């Protein structure tokens, strides 16, 4: 392993460290010049970069730093997304977006938490990271503006699908209270033909409610059809060697699943090895070993939830449509019997399959024993 170290900085090259604690109305800036320098706090209106420039200039004067020293900043990933990172980078700031879940917290029963304390803690951690300390936190890989815009389609489709399922479940629950089932097919005016437990027509109020819900359900289906068409058009327009085109050539991988994999970072996150891509998916074991006590706590659910649900679906599809694959044979050998065992084993298949799909999408390494769709 080759260790990489950050070059030593002279006193004049010492950067100004800025941690930004975000909120809806205001930002709290904690600024310092390094170790053993008490942070200086300033509050500005949210999104006011003119006030940002003024606070940074005042901090340079306070810490006796030259106007040319670089600025290193950070903030926690959250509802504001990445536009702040792009705005800071455009102004020449070396910014980092921090994964909030990776920041260690006090294990005391109660601990004080304010924006001031959070900002001071964040800037202290930033100084440690800058000077080469590892495992202080985990940073979020920021997508380009084009990538972030492109993934809106697959994310909207997922949201609409969940909304459609929730609406059908609601309609089913309304009918259950009257002893009536929800028909498999719902043509126009279907609610007028439904009969309750006594064979009578449903109340007018319930029929009106079902009519309005059916109208919403129809709109959802129309929007889903539009998004599906957009995804198909994007795949058709992609180059033959692109990641999404490679993925859809595999039997058992459809356009929707391939789009989710690509949009969630199969390519643009630039993974270097299988461990990194496994970390994005999660589904890792969580052993507990302390002294003589050793037991397994189960599978960790930490990871990208949209990627997890898609990969579970793909894993079942892969087992069905890719019977000659070593992954499928491994699954059948170890988990072929028993419903509970198959549910546990399919999680391992999802993790193995994602690595194989990543290698195929990025480097063109065909999955062993894979069956491709007819041209």
Domain count, the chain: 3
* 58-116 tens-digit pLDDT: 999 999 999 889 999 999 999 999 999 999 999 999 999 999 988 888 877 677 888 89
**DSSP code at position 371:** -
Q: Domain check: are 232 and 275 in the same one?
A: no
Do 71 and 165 lie in one domain? The reply is: no
- Domain span holding position 76: 16-142
Quick one: 322 exposed, middle or buried, by C-beta within 10 A (0-12, 13-18, 19+)?
buried
pLDDT digits (tens, 9 = 90+) for 9-55: 444 478 999 999 999 999 999 999 989 899 999 999 999 999 999 99
59 and 119 co-located in one domain: yes
What would the two tokens of residue 192 be? 């007028």
At 239-296, the pLDDT tens digits run 999 999 999 999 999 999 999 999 999 999 989 999 889 888 988 888 888 888 888 8
Give the span between the Cα atoms of 277 and 364, in whole angstroms. 17
Least confident piece of the model among 32-41, 205-214, 227-236, 332-341: 332-341
Share of the chain above pLDDT 70, in %: 96
SS3 192: helix
Q: Which residue has the tokens 């089932």?
A: 181
Q: What is the pLDDT of residue 112?
A: 81
Same domain, 249 and 219: no
> Are 231 and 272 in a shared domain?
no
Distance separating alpha carbons of residues 300 and 303, to the nearest angstrom: 8
């Amino acid at each position: 392993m080759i260790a990489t170290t950050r070059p030593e900085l002279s006193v004049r090259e010492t950067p100004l460290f800025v941690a930004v604690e975000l909120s809806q109305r205001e930002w709290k800036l904690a600024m310092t010049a390094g170790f053993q320098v008490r942070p200086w706090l300033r509050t500005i209106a949210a999104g006011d970069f003119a006030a940002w420039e003024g606070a940074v200039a005042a901090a340079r004067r306070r810490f006796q730093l030259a106007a040319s020293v670089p600025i290193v900043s950070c903030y926690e990933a959250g509802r504001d997304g990445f536009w702040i990172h792009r705005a800071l980078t455009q102004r020449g700031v070396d910014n980092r977006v921090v994964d909030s879940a990776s920041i260690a917290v006090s294990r005391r029963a109660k601990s004080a938490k304010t924006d001031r304390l959070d900002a001071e803690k964040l800037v202290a951690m930033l100084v440690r990271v800058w000077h080469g300390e590892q495992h202080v936190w985990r940073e979020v890989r920021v997508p380009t503006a084009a990538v972030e815009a492109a993934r809106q389609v697959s994310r909207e489709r997922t949201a609409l699908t969940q909304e459609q399922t929730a609406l059908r479940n609601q309609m089913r629950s309304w009918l259950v209270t009257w002893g009536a089932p929800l028909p498999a097919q719902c043509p126009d005016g279907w609610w007028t033909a439904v009969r309750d437990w006594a064979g009578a027509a449903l109340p007018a109020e319930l029929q009106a409610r079902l009519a309005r819900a059916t109208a919403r359900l129809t709109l959802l289906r129309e929007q889903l059809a539009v998004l599906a068409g957009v995804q198909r058009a994007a795949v058709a327009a992609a180059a033959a060697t692109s990641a999404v085109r490679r993925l859809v050539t595999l039997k058992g991988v459809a356009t929707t699943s391939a789009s989710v994999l690509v949009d969630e970072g199969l390519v643009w996150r630039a993974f270097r090895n299988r461990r990194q891509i496994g970390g994005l998916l999660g589904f890792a074991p969580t052993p507990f070993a302390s002294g003589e006590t050793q037991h397994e706590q189960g599978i960790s659910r930490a990871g990208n939830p949209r990627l997890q649900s898609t990969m579970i679906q793909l894993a079942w599809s892969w087992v069905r449509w890719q019977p000659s694959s070593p992954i499928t044979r491994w699954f059948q050998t170890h988990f072929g019997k028993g419903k509970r065992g198959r549910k546990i084993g399919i999680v391992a298949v999802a993790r193995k399959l994602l690595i194989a799909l990543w290698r195929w999408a990025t480097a063109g390494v065909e999955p062993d024993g894979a069956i491709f769709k007819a041209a």
